[in-house]
Amino acid sequence: MMENLRAGANNIVIKVIFILIILSFIFAGIGSYVVGNKQNYVAKVDDHKISKEEFESAYQNQLKQMQSQMGNYFQTLLENPSYEKQIKLQVINELINNYLLEENAKKNGMVVTNSQIKDAILKMPEFSKNGVFDNQTYRNLIQRAGLTPDEFAQYIKKSFLSEQYLKNINSSEFNLPGDAQEINNYINQIRLISTSQLNNNEIKKNIKISDQNILKYYNSNKKDFTEPRKFTAAYIEVEKKNASQNMVVSNEEIQKFYEKNKSQYIEPREIKISYIFVTKKDIALEIEKKLSEKQDFQKLEEQYSQDKFSKSHTLSNWISKGDLPAASDKAAFNLNKIGEFSKIIKVSNGYQIIRLDDIKPEKIKSLEKVKSEINEIILADKVDKKIVEQKQLLSNLSFSNPKTLEPASKKLGLPIETTKPFDIDNIPPSILSNGTKKALLSSTVLKSRLNSNVIQLPNGNLIVFRLTKVEPPKVIDFNLVKAKIKSMLFEQALNIKSDKLAQDYVKELNDNKKSLKFNTPIEVSRNNINASNQKLVEASFNIAEKGKYSYYKNNSGTVFIIKLNNIIYPKGNINSLDEVSNSLVQLRNNINQASLITALREKAKIEVKNIN
């Protein structure tokens, strides 16, 4: 879904409108639904419960994605409880929206089969080596994402359902004849402008900053010239990678796990079906009567079926239980003989009769098929147990000798490392994790100077630290910041005076009471904005009509008066208008999608538990 949403946000107007839509949707989110949580789920949509496990998996995946994008700075953001809660609410919001879309897709007859899921996974370039699907790469990547193959397949299935459903919703969008041209005129117009630079040196001559004013500012703003409290910490680190060294899984362990958990490796019964869909019950009853008279199902299908999603009503792919909407699913899997057909099924928009075309019985996957997966499960379990053991040992050693790290260092054979001095907002990556800031400011660590609790870093490593030195905040000497304050006060005065001068010039020019010599006219457009000309372009497009004036300051603070000479509208060739038209359609699609989700949420009974 997000790929569809992003596709429409490729130019400045579309981006602005799209951002407004999304912001309004986000801020109409789920905050008002939040209640206390004593049950084993985080949210409830009608009768469907979103489990803590499902939420935790989605939340951890979100954290991993944000960590990879923002690096260590992300850990600093997570120290803020409100920021962490905001991420959790967004994850729950997305889980709720996805469920509502999936259910609505099923109610409207959408089907995603196991064959489609398998084909999609085999074609994903992320899982390929030299252009060919590689099973080991596939398993490594989904394991890194914290998913089992079945969980990943379910994720693909849900994505397909939503994608197919949204495509059908969006298929009817179109533009009125003048829409594209109007937007094209706005986006792609060119403005012919001239500029005239004001003499900053004349303004600067009259600006004087006295020592008395500098000292007054310093005394009134000492908090701005105070170095924060500095910490120095000693720590020992147990690396996660060492936990898996020399660790192997025997064939006997794999066999034992397989025998004990065969129920997890069942390939469920699959079927192929055909179906007839009509909107009126009396027609469905007529078809049912003809079928009871042994008339040909396929001919009746071709004659009567009114399905709106598929031209062919025979599903050539194998389907599993749960692939179809609830009523259709139950009827289809109650059929046991090839050629047998169901009774009339009431669906959301009409009536169905289903015929069973083929059966693939339930069977248990062979050990060879799942051996690699079981090996990874057992190995991961062993590593987790080893880490728990190391964590407990590290905790016991640091707790029994709370004023030193030496015994833990000697027992574990690990060096004691020392950080450079740092402040609370710049904790070094070597000890930075969700709990580091809280531990640093705790009375145990800060006041009593005892060892911290064991802290797990984002990479899975374990640390214990203690403070070896704390330097209190101190005000920087006046003489060290005097020049900086003088420069700042000078710039403030210059900004005020130059703004006032420019405003006076613009007013007199617009009133035809003044004249200026301007440079040779140049063209500016919204499509060619960069860091060096952004202020010029924005100011130019803020002028209401040609022949009028405005001003701007460049990045170095120099003031320029701008004259708008002319506005040149694009002629709009077929290709450029088609591009704008397509963007408008995509924008409307995005609005439809946001509106659909809002409507589904309004109809559903949504309850979100307290996630703190």
- Cβ atoms of 431 and 233 within 8 Å: the answer is yes
Tokens read off for 271: 């079927």
Fold of the domain spanning 269-361: Chitinase A; domain 3 (3.10.50)
Q: For the chain, what is the total number of helices (H) and then of strands (E)? A: 21, 22
pLDDT of 414 strictly over 60: yes
Instruction: Give the pLDDT mean for 24-35.
Output: 37
Distance CA 132, CA 36 (A): 49
Residue 14 buriedness (CB in 10 A; 0-12 / 13-18 / 19+): buried
Least confident of 228-232, 242-246, 285-289, 576-580: 576-580
The confidence score (pLDDT) of residue 449 equals 95
Residues 278-308 pLDDT 10s: 989 999 999 999 999 999 988 888 888 886 4
Q: Give the pLDDT confidence score for residue 187 in this predicted structure.
A: 75
Q: How far is CA 344 from CA 278, 358, 591, in A?
A: 10, 20, 37
Please give the structure tokens belonging to residue 512.
């035809």
Eight-class DSSP state of 374: H
Kindly compute the dihedral angle of the four CA atoms of residues 212, 214, 219, 221, in this order, to the nearest 10 degrees.
150
Task: Say which residues have a Cβ less than 8 Å from residue 532's Cβ, sequence separation at least 6.
Answer: 555
Each residue's pLDDT tens digit, 337-353: 999 999 999 987 889 99
**CATH classification number, 2-178+576-609, choose in 1.25.40.10, 1.10.645.10, 1.10.4030.10, 3.90.230.10:** 1.10.4030.10
Task: Tell me the pLDDT band of 484, cut-offs 50, 70 and 90.
Answer: very high
Instruction: Provide the Cα torsion 251, 252, 256, 262; round to 10°.
Output: 30
Round to whole Å and give the CA distance between 558 and 554: 6
pLDDT at 10 over 60: no
Residue spans of alpha helices (H) in 364-435? 367-400, 406-412
Lowest mean pLDDT among 167-171, 315-319, 492-496, 606-610: 167-171
The residue behind tokens 């079928």 is 291
Q: Between 78 and 46, name the one with better pLDDT.
A: 46
Averaged pLDDT, 204-218? 92
Element (H, E) at 41: strand 41-45
Candidates 212, 115, 195; CA nearest to 156 is 115
The pLDDT score that the predictor gives to residue 119 is 81
CA-closest candidate to residue 154, choices 90, 95, 109: 95
Q: H/E element holding 592?
A: helix 574-603
104-113, 114-123, 499-508: least confident range: 104-113
Q: CA dihedral defined by 14, 15, 19, 20, rounded to 10 degrees?
A: -40
- Is residue 12 over pLDDT 50? no
Task: Report which DSSP code applies to 442.
Answer: S
- Determine the straight-line distance between the first and last CA of the chain, rounded to whole angstroms: 29
Query: Nearest 5°: phi and psi at 567?
Result: -120, 120
Average the pLDDT over 241-270 and give the result.
88
H runs (alpha helix) in 401-477: 406-412, 436-440
Amino acid 345: pLDDT = 93
Give the pLDDT confidence score for residue 151 in this predicted structure: 75
Residue 174 has pLDDT above 60, yes or no: no
Q: How confident is the model at residue 171 (pLDDT cuts 50, 70, 90)?
A: low
For residues 154 and 160, what is the distance between their CA atoms, to the nearest angstrom? Answer: 10
Lowest-confidence segment of 40-49, 98-107, 276-285, 393-402 by average pLDDT:
98-107
Please, which residues bridge with residue 194 across strands? 563
44-48, 202-206, 466-470: segment of lowest average pLDDT: 202-206
**Given pLDDT bands bounded at 50, 70 and 90, which one contains residue 313?**
very low
- pLDDT at 518 exceeding the cut of 70: yes
Report helix, strand or coil for 190.
strand
pLDDT (average), residues 382-396: 88
In this structure, what token pair is assigned to residue 358?
A: 């083929």
What pLDDT sits at residue 564? 95
Q: List Cα–Cα distances, 208 to 201, 376, 452, in angstroms.
A: 13, 73, 54
pLDDT digits (tens, 9 = 90+) for 532-570: 888 999 999 999 899 999 999 988 888 999 999 999 887
Q: What CA–CA distance (Å, rounded) separates 152 from 154?
A: 5
pLDDT score recorded for residue 20: 38
Contact 40, 52 (CB under 8 A): yes
313-321 mean pLDDT: 73
What's the pLDDT at 127?
83
Pairing type for strands 350-360 and 462-471 reads unpaired
Per-residue pLDDT at 609 exceeds 50: yes
β-bridge partners, 314: 274
Higher pLDDT, 236 or 126: 236
Whether 269-361 and 2-178+576-609 are alike in CATH topology: the answer is no
Which DSSP category does 32 fall into?
Answer: G
Lowest pLDDT segment from 21-35, 63-77, 133-147, 381-395: 21-35
- Cβ neighbours of residue 128 closer than 8 Å, sequence gap 6 or more: 134, 137
Tell me whether residue 572 is exposed, middle or buried, using C-beta atoms within 10 angstroms of its C-beta: 0 to 12, 13 to 18, 19 or more: middle
CA–CA separation, 158 vs 267, rounded Å?
A: 19
SS3 52: helix
Contact 581, 179 (CB under 8 A): yes
pLDDT(448) > 70: yes
Query: Both tokens of residue 239?
Result: 């690396």
Q: Domain residues of the chain, as ranges?
A: 2-178+576-609, 190-227+477-568, 230-250+368-472, 269-361
Q: What is the mean pLDDT of residues 35-41?
A: 55
Q: Among 255, 252, 302, which residue's Cα sits nearest to residue 277? A: 302
Exposure of 417 by Cβ count < 10 A (0-12 exposed, 13-18 middle, 19+ buried)? middle
pLDDT at 156: 80
Burial 310-344 (b: 16+ CB within 10 A, else e): eeebebebbbbeebbbebbbebbbebeeeeebbeb
434 pLDDT band, cuts 50/70/90, is: confident
Which residue, among 267, 355, 260, has the nearest Cα to 305 in the 3D structure?
A: 355
Q: Regarding predicted confidence, which is higher, 63 or 453?
A: 453
User: For the chain, how big is the Rg over CA atoms in Å?
Assistant: 34
Q: Which amino acid is at 175?
A: N
